[in-house]
Structure 1
Amino acid sequence: MSGTAPRLVGRRAECERLSGLVAAAEAGRSQVLVLRGEAGIGRTALLAFVAERAGGCRVRRAAGVESERELAFAGLHQLCGPLLDRGDALPPPQREALHTAFGLRPGGAPDRFVLGLAVLSLLAAVAAERPLVCLVDDVQEMDRPSARTLEFVCRRLPTGPVAVVLAVRDTDEEPRLTGLPSLRLRGLADGDAAALLHSTATGRLDPRVRDRILVESRGNPLALLELSRGLSPTELAFGGATAVTGPLDRRLEGEVLRQVAPLPEPTRRLLLTAAAEPTGDLALLWRAAGRLGIGPGAAGAAEASGLVTLHHRVRFRHPLARSAVYRSAAPAQRRAVHRALGEATDPEADPDRRAWHLSRAATGPDEDVAAQLERSAGRALTSGGPAAAAAFLEKAAQLTADPVRRTRRGLQAARAKVAAGAFDDAAALVVGVGEQPLPEAERGRAELLRGRISLAADRTDEALSQLLAVARRWATLDPRLARDAHLDAFRAAVSRGRTAAGPATRRVAEAVRGTPLPAGPGREDALLEGLAVLFTDGDPAAAPLLQRAVRGFLTGELPVDEAAGPVRLAAVTAASLWDPTGWDALTRRHLAAAREAGALGVLPSALEARALARVCAGDLAGAASLVAEARSVTEGAGIARASSAEAGLLAVRGDPDQAEPVLRSCLADALAHGEGHAVSTVQWARAVLANGLGRYGDARRAAEAAADPGGLGPSRWALAELVEAGVRSGDPRAAAAAFESLAAATRASGTEWALGVAAGRQALLSRGEDADALYREAVDRLTRTPVQLELARTRLLHGEWLRREGRRVDARVQLRAAHEALSAMGAGAFAERARQELLATGESVRARSATGPWRLTGQEERIARLAAAGLTNREIGTAVHLSRRTVEWHLRKVFEKLGVTDRRQLRRHLPEGPPPPG
């Protein structure tokens, strides 16, 4: 969810304490805290957490910089420089001390006591306007005068709305900031460390490797993150990575090399062998050492160095020490070690690890090893995901002398890289393949793959042209390949929507209908035929074909390449048919396949599709979790894209302050990339938001921009929004025209969702008993579906109509049901509409939060959960570092926001899942 504080794995207690510090400052009580710990333990991340939590405060930040340690007052200038405009009100001696320290006036070093008082006065003056939170990182690197002044200030911080958090790394130097309240950060617990490693790894890890990493990292978050961030699953699992991934690496590397240099040569080779074999298998290490002529005597010096222990398993002192040993060796030394490890590995028990080691030892083409790698890739696709398979195949291609085999393996590697989200790497592989003389069959596969890479990389126009050209060229030579190209072309055309030059979907449809079916058509062919009929002959002819095609994807195996294409298209088709069961099942299968395979190229879109399905089902909490996961995946992959699923989620929640910035960002992003389908989704979301808020003119304009009877998904749902907006904004002609298109599509679909939507919107255009009967039909049909959001909205429409008809008692029944459902979902604007209508019937109802329980602040949600768990106000105050009276004040706000009157009601009004950690 946009705007929420970051959730830090395993740091709940620390976040609680820091949140209490911010709350104290907001309540007018000064606080100081020193965060202590080793490099990488999470001090900076916790400072970022404080900054996010302190949204209602003024935040000033500073950090010690090694290169500025000799510049007196450089750190203090970072913190106080932007505040100097308040300095004119300080007493002259203090003002002069500040100006002298910052070089604004000539003079010698300012008096330390006067300067400290000046900083205290300056912070107090700023905090008088707004609570102030000062965050200072890496104090151990700060120039000494600044550090002394900050220590002086922290020991004398006056009572008032000021909080200071200082982070200091453990060093061999004299202790800093002694005597101040402090919090020592320890390594993460095993379970939390495993969760963090799992969240950052791009595929499955060998359990032996995972356990070894956890032991060696000792719960250090940065060690876990830096270790996995720059390495593929294959490099983590099999070793052989040489890239320096971060500053912690570089610091450790220098330390390790100083310790390794004086060791005897056999000991250095033993350490290198241990570093190259990531499972920590001691027996394997000694078998390989024997092949290298390393005797048992080398172990004593290795353990005496403190870098490694050689008992039941091989354990390095730190996982990055292992990689430093490996990187420091010459290439020839690494190759010799890998050959020994490969030859010492049992080919029956661990063929993949053997093949990987032998590949790292090769100096030229080696068909035997390449064949082993190709077999390993097949196993890796199911056990380690496409990234691991791609690594095996790419290495196999490099070791292949035969050009035809090399081409085939290179194309297989490129396909795996597309599934893994490595589009640039895939494109480079295809270019390399294209430079070789290709057999006809391989040329066709290469051309298809180029189109798929363009599509996956959001170059949709380019992809559409490439894919249609492939389909034309291979229609008679290879009908199966041509059909695959047509299916991908449909994906491109649907993505482009109305932004494509010309009717793109019809162009593809006509091309499909002019191509013969291949022998033995499968479910992809059924989907392709149905879509071709839809975009040439319309819904009545296409609906039965598409419904059968969707059912075909509900069972059977789901390879990752199908999850990337056909299943995604089938899910959009199900949504367009108002088929909630098919849509739910396909988005669930799509996501499960992407997660199971670790396919980063597929996972973000699978999460987004699933999130949108949960929004329509009324599960906004589940949708929010999926949106957050999608953001985590895309940010981890370095992809900066706005989320149309998040736009839909925020629109239904109904808070314009939260929704509008995301809607604008998504729309700009979609237009920049020429994604008409995403444009329609955003405009549909904007129409939902405006309808919820009763801004019907805005809703009509947004729905008109989104609505497209010939489109798929949200472009069709927008017709329903346009009917409501048109009626309510006084434009019955627009509403009637939209309903005509909506009725044709829903009639052809015939599902309860489709017919329920149609009946509810027709009721808006009807009068008297006809309207009442249509509303009742709509509610009856929608009750039999999982689409709870539409059901609640239809009850709201019916209740509004009943009240206007003067049937207050009947209206209350529908409005109460709507209000309870919409409030429980968190659909705040629609819930408020229902509440206002209930008030108009004479019923008293408490206001709930604008977006349900998610409108609670993090502090309020934590207190509410503790209260729901049975803690007293005094116990809650102890847990969150607040006074009993402050807890009481927060609980009164919680009760008002949630519309509850006692603690027993809290549990069912809070979203599922753990409380915010801060």
Structure 2
Amino acid sequence: MAQRKRGSENAGLLGRGPECDLLDQLIAAVRVGESRVLVVHGAPGVGKSALLDYAGSSATGMRVLRAVGVESEMELAFATLHQLCAPLLDRLENLPEPQRDALKTVFGMRGGTPPERFLVGLAVLSLLSDASEGTPLLCVVDDAQWMDRASAQVLGFVARRLLAESVALVLGSRQRSQDLLGLPELEVTGLNAADAHALLASVTHVRIDQQIRDRFVAETRGNPLALLELRRELAVTRTAGGFGLLDADTLPGRIEQSFLARIEGLAEHTRLLLLIAAAEPVGDPSLIWRAAERLGVTPATALASGTDGLLELDVRVIFRHPLVRSAVYGSAKEEDRRAVHLALAEVTDVQADPDRRAWHLASATAAPDESVAAELERSAGRAQARGGVAAAAAFLQRSVALTVDTSRRAERALAAADASLRAGDIEAARRCADLADQEAQSEFQRVRADLTRGHITFAAGFNNEAPLMLLAAAQRLEPFDMDLARETYLVAWGSASFGAANRDSLLAISRAMRDLPAPEGGPRALDLVLEGYALLITDGRSAALPALRKAKTALTDYPVQDFLKWGWAACGVSALVWEDRFMPGTPARAVEAVRAAGALSELPIYLHALGIPVSLSGEFAAASALVAQSDAVADATGVPMTQHTRLLLTAMQGKEDEAAALIAATIEEAGASGQLNGVASAHWAAAVLYNGLARYGLALPAALATTRSANLIVSQWALPEVVEAAARTGDDTAARGALEGLADAAEPCDTDWAQGILARCRALLSADDAADDLYREAIERLGRTILRPELARAHLLFGEWLRRDRQRAEARAHLRTAYEMFVSIGMEAFAERARRELLATGETVRKRKNGASASEELTAQETQIALLVRDGLSNPEIGARLFLSPRTVEWHLRKIFAKLGISSRRELGDALPPAPAAFPGPG
């Protein structure tokens, strides 16, 4: 440690031995092929930048990339990221095409559809990984608290996924920002008393009383910059006596006051030069001098007496400390700031840097100005095209404030509300929507403001208000834009049926949908879904079936951009008509469409929609892989998702402890946030779990609670659970009521799934001869579906019935079939139930584990990677799916090979369960 300390002192870092030691360890780990991330945070002036400089100087033999967050650039999307990645842009061609195009788009190198920031994050991860192949890489970002939001989100994404690359990412920040929470961190505090006294002595050339020295150290809390600056501020005689020490104030304020005193002592033209440099974030000396010339400032007049060390003018213009920039800009008169921004706007190339020019113009404008507002609107469009949604929202909000014409202000406020909502700023979106409503000059503008408010309410959480707000907006939109009205109706219906709205809301929406005029040019998929959903609620399933069946077929071919708007609400069509083989098709295609469009924030919705039918088909390895992929996407997007597939999967597997804990947590959390769809899924999972465990007294209330849900699909799937649990507990009323509801839902649908489930449930409540025939019908029909768990449960119930009817020989055959199926699927609780029944017939049965064998040792992420490799995907393709670099995929693959006892990708096919043929795999 002493040696480390001496090294740090030689680098000018008095008292920073432990911090330098940590940075040395970080550099050493990266040299041997590992990745490291560190957020260095602490108060202004405490020495963060010095530590980042130490890391850069210590990284001999490594490539060092640097970037600095600039306060005035916080509204320019990807500004900090571009600084960091600019030296690597010659390697873009090494990236997969979607990632390459994403980076070129956000950096303004090409046009195209704006990529989601998660695709940009994956592209940056791949770029850094590629750049580190030959030489370890150190990325240093200082003043990270002033990064633009888009850059902060991308770098936070990258930091959480660095693993097996030779890359270090070190960020210096005043505080822990939301986008960097949870990353490894180093808090830098003031120097200890001894080192603080030593630093003070090194810069003080007169004797100061010991008590005064002690007070200096105590009041600065050992902050190095404060110690260096405060001694400048006070005359020697006042310092010696202690009378001139500052009273209590924030430490940054004290340091800034010191800088202000030095600024005030400069010549007028020098101060103006500092203000120009403070307002110009790039540090381009040519640009700064051209702006200075417009204001009558020349190098001779500005630098005649120097800048007192506050500003360095070289290849770049650099302030001594970020607080100098803050002090200069904050202390300037408003009219001086506007004049400086106007000069900078006039010398900024409108072709090369139109957005920074627009921002300068906005800062120079005190009153509404249509030309500047229009410039900002165009900048918002460019930001949006690059995927900088937060930047687009900021540009549009400022554009609204500068707009003269009220009608145009309403349009821009609507655009600002939409951009703010997509950027996740709910409150700003609501303010802009309210302003749009106030400024609206037409009914269409007022309706669109109401529509935006409906979307805001829906985005803020499932609740009873959003469906009716969206219904009202859809009705008012009809005279103006029928296509938008139809899309709004479907979103309203989806929010009511899958959210928290009561059945009266769903009925009102369905009636309005039913009364829509016939679409011109024939019905599209959207129109068929609307018709089917409406008739389902207003006229019943028989009336809805023709439209729903047509919709099921039409959804196999749809425009991706349209489907991205409302597709989540259409994924239930096949389930509502009990079409098991079609049920995975729509979400599987949606997964590919959403991924191809780069709309990754939507992906967990469709992965869940695919995970449910995959689980119901008994393909648990594939379902687990989908859960892992959904988790990866949710983690990347920061959008929490109710664990629908995980709930069902753990319940079907019979993992009591894990499932019960997840069920309880979901009911509590989803219930508290009003997401009653999650509560319904949890109750359904509980019913499946406890029926498997033969705890029918617990299964029945959970199943009954599910049937009362507004979710039409889960409530119908819970009815067989009610029948089974009620039949076993002797609650004939509940059993008969559930059977009647199931008949209403399934009987009109002449599919093997519907008729097989219905026959199985009728058998449970039938007399001897009828039960025998019904069980055999159920087994025959369910045997023609992809739903192996339902078939196995039919064998189990028939076997249980046969044993109680003393037909032991045939009972053994069905119970053995059920047991073998449950074991092969991985349904432990149901398998144990079948085993106990077999024992009761007098047959000896040993407990057996399911057939996954060695693959059980794989983690969920390893399983996902193994399945994708088995299906023929390359490491870069897998990385793109799971938000990992190809090198990290390879690192996981080595662990997978070791666990499975194999040595090549070709051997995975034999080591894993076979790929299901009934639906597309998880990739």
TM-score (norm 2): 0.58
C-alpha distance in structure 1 between counterparts of 2:688 and 2:312, whole Å = 61
Q: What's 2:706 paired with? A: 706
C-alpha distance in structure 1 between counterparts of 2:461 and 2:585, whole Å = 25
Question: Which of residues 519, 536, 539 is equivalent to 1:537?
Answer: 539
- The superposition leaves residues 772-810 of structure 1 with CA deviations (integer Å, 9 ceiling, x where unpaired) of 45314313321xxxxxxx424533542674585535567
Instruction: Name the SS for the 1:458 alignment partner.
Output: coil
Question: Which of residues 791, 795, 798 is equivalent to 1:798?
Answer: 795
C-alpha distance in structure 2 between counterparts of 1:319 and 1:718, whole Å = 64
C-alpha distance in structure 2 between counterparts of 1:39 and 1:797, whole Å = 64
| Pair 371,477 (structure 1): closer, same or farther in 2 beyond 3 Å | closer
Q: What's 2:550 paired with? A: 548
Instruction: Name the SS for the 1:493 alignment partner.
Output: helix
Q: What's 2:690 paired with? A: 690
Q: What's 2:530 paired with? A: 528
| Pair 711,642 (structure 1): closer, same or farther in 2 beyond 3 Å | closer
Pair 1:448-2:444 in alignment: no
C-alpha distance in structure 1 between counterparts of 2:614 and 2:308, whole Å = 57
Pair 1:37-2:26 in alignment: no
Q: Which piece of structure 1 moves more, 591-600 or 740-749?
A: 591-600
C-alpha distance in structure 1 between counterparts of 2:632 and 2:407, whole Å = 41
- The superposition leaves residues 143-196 of structure 1 with CA deviations (integer Å, 9 ceiling, x where unpaired) of xxxxxxxxxxxxxxxxxxxxxxxxx99999xxxxxxxxxxxx999x999999xx
C-alpha distance in structure 2 between counterparts of 1:796 and 1:320, whole Å = 68
C-alpha distance in structure 2 between counterparts of 1:356 and 1:66, whole Å = 30
Q: What's 2:660 paired with? A: 660
Q: Which piece of structure 1 moves more, 697-706 or 316-325?
A: 316-325
Question: Which of residues 412, 417, 428 is equivalent to 1:414?
Answer: 417
| Pair 665,345 (structure 1): closer, same or farther in 2 beyond 3 Å | same
Count of residues in Structure 1 that have an aligned counterpart in Structure 2: 687
Pair 1:405-2:408 in alignment: yes
Q: In structure 2, what residue type is equivalent to 1:546?
A: L
| Pair 203,756 (structure 1): closer, same or farther in 2 beyond 3 Å | farther
C-alpha distance in structure 1 between counterparts of 2:328 and 2:832, whole Å = 62
C-alpha displacement at 1:687, in angstroms? 1.0
Alignment of 1:349-498 (within 5 A): 351-352=354-355, 354-384=357-387, 386-436=389-439, 438-458=441-461, 460-471=463-474, 483=486, 485-496=488-499
Alignment of 1:476-625 (within 5 A): 483=486, 485-496=488-499, 500=502, 503-517=504-518, 523-559=525-561, 563=564, 566-579=566-579, 581=582, 585-586=586-587, 589=590, 593=594, 609=609, 612=612, 615-616=615-616, 618=620, 619-625=622-628
- The superposition leaves residues 619-659 of structure 1 with CA deviations (integer Å, 9 ceiling, x where unpaired) of 3423432553476468x57x7x8655554444344333333
Contact 2:796 2:814 in 1 (8 A): yes
Contact 2:551 2:573 in 1 (8 A): no
C-alpha displacement at 1:408, in angstroms? 0.8
C-alpha displacement at 1:535, in angstroms? 0.6
TM-score (norm 1): 0.58
C-alpha distance in structure 2 between counterparts of 1:192 and 1:775, whole Å = 65
CA RMSD of aligned residues (A): 6.3
C-alpha displacement at 1:568, in angstroms? 1.9
Unpaired stretches in structure 2, ≥5 consecutive residues: 1-17, 28-40, 52-57, 68-73, 88-123, 129-136, 157-172, 178-186, 190-222, 230-251, 867-895, 915-923
| Pair 233,412 (structure 1): closer, same or farther in 2 beyond 3 Å | farther
Q: In structure 2, what residue type is equivalent to 1:211?
A: C
C-alpha displacement at 1:570, in angstroms? 1.1
Contact 2:576 2:713 in 1 (8 A): yes
| Pair 516,777 (structure 1): closer, same or farther in 2 beyond 3 Å | closer
Q: What's 2:722 paired with? A: 722
Q: In structure 1, what residue type is equivalent to 2:513?
A: V
C-alpha distance in structure 2 between counterparts of 1:245 and 1:34, whole Å = 17
Instruction: Name the SS for the 2:422 alignment partner.
Output: helix
Contact 1:653 1:828 in 2 (8 A): yes
Q: What's 1:742 paired with? A: 742
C-alpha distance in structure 1 between counterparts of 2:764 and 2:746, whole Å = 16
| Pair 422,224 (structure 1): closer, same or farther in 2 beyond 3 Å | same
- The superposition leaves residues 533-556 of structure 1 with CA deviations (integer Å, 9 ceiling, x where unpaired) of 111111122123134335545544
Question: Identity across aligned pairs (percent)?
Answer: 32
Q: Which piece of structure 1 moves more, 459-468 or 250-259?
A: 250-259
- The superposition leaves residues 685-724 of structure 1 with CA deviations (integer Å, 9 ceiling, x where unpaired) of 2112212322223222211221259852211211232344
| Pair 414,796 (structure 1): closer, same or farther in 2 beyond 3 Å | same
C-alpha distance in structure 1 between counterparts of 2:549 and 2:623, whole Å = 27
Pair 1:208-2:82 in alignment: yes
Instruction: Name the SS for the 1:713 alignment partner.
Output: helix
Q: What's 1:125 paired with? A: none
- The superposition leaves residues 857-878 of structure 1 with CA deviations (integer Å, 9 ceiling, x where unpaired) of 99x99xx9xxxxxxxxxxxxxx
Q: What's 1:816 paired with? A: 820
| Pair 464,309 (structure 1): closer, same or farther in 2 beyond 3 Å | same
Contact 1:227 1:319 in 2 (8 A): no
C-alpha distance in structure 2 between counterparts of 1:447 and 1:538, whole Å = 31
C-alpha displacement at 1:665, in angstroms? 3.5
C-alpha distance in structure 1 between counterparts of 2:406 and 2:146, whole Å = 38
- The superposition leaves residues 423-478 of structure 1 with CA deviations (integer Å, 9 ceiling, x where unpaired) of 22211112222333532221121122222322222363333443444455565676
Contact 2:587 2:609 in 1 (8 A): no
| Pair 657,542 (structure 1): closer, same or farther in 2 beyond 3 Å | same
Q: In structure 1, what residue type is equivalent to 2:706?
A: A
- The superposition leaves residues 454-503 of structure 1 with CA deviations (integer Å, 9 ceiling, x where unpaired) of 22223633334434444555656765665455334323422456x62x62
Contact 2:42 2:188 in 1 (8 A): no
C-alpha displacement at 1:342, in angstroms? 4.9
